[in-house]
Amino acid sequence: MKKELAGLTQDPKEYRWCGYGEAVAGIRIAKEGLKSLMNARDGVDDSRTSVMVTYRVWLFGQGEQNEGLDGQGRPMRRGIDPERVKEVIAAKGKLRIHDYAGCRARYFVDGAVFGTREFVEEIFQAYRERFGSNRESGARSVRGLDGPALFVLRDLRKSASG
């Protein structure tokens, strides 16, 4: 029996709390998790890159939209459009460079506010009531970047370079 997506997105890489999306974004622990999962499933200990494309094809196949009723007479839930599944299979699970870059850019998008320390502090003060009383400042340094200091409103606990 196939498992369907809840209709939240047409591509799991776009769902921010999806382990696959985290792996595409470059989060090491998520990549290693998928590698372990696929190794346990297929008994193959491949490189992370081949695991990612194999997992993507498998994930799309599992999440393909089904119409009608399931084995218990319940309506099928929404999933990934069958045409989109065919595209992913035809591409052998490989992402286009701009898709990959978009996932990597989540670091900055998830930071809500991005800029100099002064700019981030100004925004923090303007929306001070939205933060806990123990929080003294808003600016959090972006980790893993060389060059000028950049700041975000949320401490993302991950390096910008993956």
For residues 21 and 40, what is the distance between their CA atoms, to the nearest angstrom? 20
Average pLDDT by stretches of 10, the chain with 162 residues? 50 78 82 86 71 87 79 75 90 85 68 80 87 84 72 62 47
Rg (CA), the chain: 20
pTM exceeding the 0.85 threshold for the entire prediction: no
Q: What is the C-alpha end-to-end distance of the chain, expressed in Å?
A: 36
User: Which helix (DSSP H) or strand (DSSP E) does residue 152 occupy?
Assistant: strand 151-152
